[in-house]
Amino acid sequence: MTMKNPDPPPTEDDRARDARRRASLAMPFTAPDFRPLSAAVGVDVAARSERGATRSSNDDHYLVIRLERSQETLATSLSSADLPAPFRESGLAMLVADGIGEGGAGSVASRVAISAIAHLALEHGRWNLRVNPDTAMEIMARVELLYGRADAEVFARTRAAAPLSGMSTSLTAAYSAGDSLFVSQVGHSRAYLFRNGVLTQLTRDQTMAGNLAASKRPVPVERSAQDLQHILTDAIGAGGSPPKIDVEQFRLKDGDSVLLCTNGLTDVVDEGGIADVLALPRQPAEQCGQLIEMAQKRETADNVTVVLAQYRVPRT
């Protein structure tokens, strides 16, 4: 039997090399003042929806969700100096849907679309709150997935019951985390950014009028602009080819406001009027109320929904 020679005892150099290796494998220590933008940005949000003057039902629906991730120590033998303070970071999702369909079917379409996205977001559970180029691509891809599933859900409902046949909905959403804002759209509900007194439309209407304006083609005289504005080229649940989903990323600054609204507002209140309301130093709930009242005073025929978020973004 051959005896194996024992390993020689480690030298000082060996011990030093092992110590360096262990140090390189150790998790980096997080400084006690660690606070990403997703934990520092503040936002106040409000929403309101009212039935149009000529409508028997309100086919609009909206949803605002706060997505949070937190860490809190419940029990420990360490001193408070050894542990981080309770930590919470969050993102905000806002959705507005304007249903299309007779006899209340439009309300079903907008409800099903928003409900499907809310449940799917919870099921997928990947809430990217710290946005970098890689996570931004993931967010955009997930938005397209959620919209596609919502489209399938609404279309399935149209096939399940004859009274719902032909229903569909517009769907506009905004997701913010830190100082990143993602806006997605199918249809003609709009998203705006209000910054330093200037109102900017972030979405493009997916309507016949919008397409004609973009292509610079002449509009036949016998077809009114008002009619063209309400002929959607893409909608959730319409069937046929999948809808065109517009998704874009923007950067938020301190004092910005983000507005989502249905065409019940924009049909009767121009962008100058909307900007005048948002320029007033008031809480979002008051501004939402003012926008709704302006639309009602101008006898908007359509249902009107507004969702408004005001942001406080610290300097980095």
Which pLDDT score is estimated for 15? 76
Which pLDDT score is estimated for 13? 76
Which pLDDT score is estimated for 10? 73
Could you tell me whether strands 60-71 and 257-261 are parallel, antiparallel, or unpaired per DSSP bridges? Answer: unpaired
pTM score: 0.84
Tens digits of pLDDT across the chain (316 residues) = 555 566 677 777 777 787 777 766 665 555 557 788 999 999 999 999 999 888 878 999 999 999 999 999 999 999 988 888 899 999 999 999 999 988 889 999 999 999 999 999 888 767 789 999 999 999 999 999 999 999 999 999 988 888 888 899 999 999 999 999 999 999 999 999 999 999 999 999 887 666 555 555 544 433 333 334 567 788 899 888 889 999 999 999 999 999 999 999 999 999 999 999 999 999 999 999 999 999 999 999 899 999 999 999 998 6
Which pLDDT score is estimated for 87? 92
SS3 for the chain is: CCCCCCCCCCCHHHHHHHHHHHHHHCCCCCCCCCCCHHHHCEEEEEEEEECCCCCCCCCEEEEEEEEEEEECCCCCCCCHHHCCCCEEEEEEEEEEEEEECCCCHHHHHHHHHHHHHHHHHHHHCCCCCCCCHHHHHHHHHHHHHHHHHHHHHHHHHHHHCHHHCCCEEEEEEEEEECCEEEEEEECCCEEEEEECCEEEECCCCCEHHHHHHHHCCCCCCCCCHHHHHCCECCCECCCCCCCCCEEEEEECCCCCEEEEECHHHHCCCCHHHHHHHHHCCCCHHHHHHHHHHHHHHCCCCCCEEEEEEEEECCCC
Which pLDDT score is estimated for 257? 98
What the chain holds in terms of domains, given with CATH numbers, is 36-70+87-312 (3.60.40.10)
